[in-house]
Structure 1
Amino acid sequence: MDLRFETTVSSPAELADYDLVVVADGSNSLLRDSFAKDFGPSTDTATAKFVWFGTTYMFEGLTFVYKQSEHGAFAVHGYPVDEEKSTFIVEADPETWRAAGLDEFDVSRPPARAMRRPSATSQSCSRTRSAAHRCWRTTPGGGTSAPAGELVEPT
């Protein structure tokens, strides 16, 4: 058995001698395009708006949080990317995005105020893919907060 990973293929002809090929080369796939008639792929363009952050806060696994705000619903998904950093994505429909004023955000400058970290000590929990739980403390105003001293200053 000949297993190959992270191998660039320039033409489907390069794969002629293989019995099984598993391809994971993204949305602009050379092979998917080459065999479009056989595979019948389709594309939907989503309208969701999102922002992608990096943080030193360590998520324990893939974590989903859904929050209804006065502007609409927000979805957050976060996960660790290495031993010291995580990434998290905040997503909303276009109406919620605009109602929250995020369409006016200047992406060339960091936010002026500190953002609060999630807390792992509270009532509202979401299931993660690994069946672990991640909890967020909900404040009386409906936001999420962390224990005192856990502010994250934008960099």
Structure 2
Amino acid sequence: MGRTEYYDDPSAPEPNSLVVAASAVVTDDKGRILLQKRSDSGLWALPGGGMEMSDSLPGTAVREVKEETGLDVEITGLVGTYTDPRHVIAYSDGEVRRQFNVCFRARLVGGTLAISDESLELRWVAPEDLESLPMHHTQQLRLQHATEGREAPYLG
């Protein structure tokens, strides 16, 4: 299934769903950040996805990281909340999503790195190399907030 992201675009389709989602900025012991090259868009992104009825938000982030990367993580903090109504995600199946994303900090605790059907590639990236990867600017914003040493989570 394909995915197109819009931001502040008057030609974006009207959303027909609202999805609560969680993502995670996972770091290893070298300070590198785990990213996935998404199979639905070809862009680099943080692991994450939609909350299920049986999940908590932190549990969603832990589950999604495991499903998408094979790795086990522990939530260590909050990067921020991302609720901008100008960000719309359209899927080839007709869903047009407005997404409410809570982005967590997490650390690697185990597992084996494994590509899922949602990823073309997984990579540990040094913070100084993040800008060289093609990604939607909403992902760049989360990474900026995670790496800039903010005293409080971003609320937006």
Q: TM-score, normalised by structure 1?
A: 0.24
Structure with the greater alpha carbon radius of gyration: 1
More helix by percentage: 2
Q: TM-score, normalised by structure 2?
A: 0.23
